Amino acid sequence: MRISHSTIIRCVGLAGGLACATAAAPAQVAAAPAQMAVRVVSVTTPVARGTEGHLAVRTAPYAQCGASVQAQTDPGRTIASLPPRAADPSGLVTFSVKVPGIAKPGPYPVTVSCQRGAKVAVTHLRITVL
């Protein structure tokens, strides 16, 4: 009988001999890929109309990240998309945007999404415009 390294052998001593049985080894379970996250490091809020706001997030090193601002009354509608940025070797990504002088005061939902290979992470926050 040919036995590979993934075969388990069990032998039991019997009167006058030895009986052996073989069984395939259990399949190896692959470790789950490490989770990727996006964590807000700093954000300018509240931010006055006509001034520049800043957002910094930490994620996986070299991940590609984008940020979008949604409408106050319709969070499904994007009113501003910030250009994609690459995280630095420590995973830091920064965004800056000038808030239009005509922006309506109040809270605005912001979505930041980052991707590295097949891994994607998203975080949501709110900024307040004065």
The pLDDT tens digits for 19-69 are: 444 444 444 544 445 688 999 999 998 999 999 999 999 999 999 999 999
Beta partners for 43? 55
CA atoms 53, 59, 65, 70: torsion sign: negative
Instruction: Give the domain extent around 107.
Output: 39-129
Inside any domain, residue 61: yes
Lowest mean pLDDT among 8-22, 86-100, 109-123: 8-22
Inside any domain, residue 101: yes
E-state strands within 1-130 = 7-14, 17-24, 39-43, 52-58, 64-70, 78-86, 92-98, 106-116, 119-129
Inside any domain, residue 7: no
| Domains held by the chain: number | 1
Q: Is 50 left (phi over 0), alpha (psi -120 to 50) or beta?
A: left
pLDDT, greater one: 63 or 17: 63
Lowest mean pLDDT among 42-46, 73-77, 116-120: 73-77
Has this prediction a pTM greater than 0.75?
no
Task: Give the pairing of strands 17-24 and 119-129.
Answer: unpaired
Inside any domain, residue 10: no
Inside any domain, residue 1: no
CA 64, CA 122: separation in Å to the nearest integer? 12
What is the CATH number for 112? Answer: 2.60.40.10
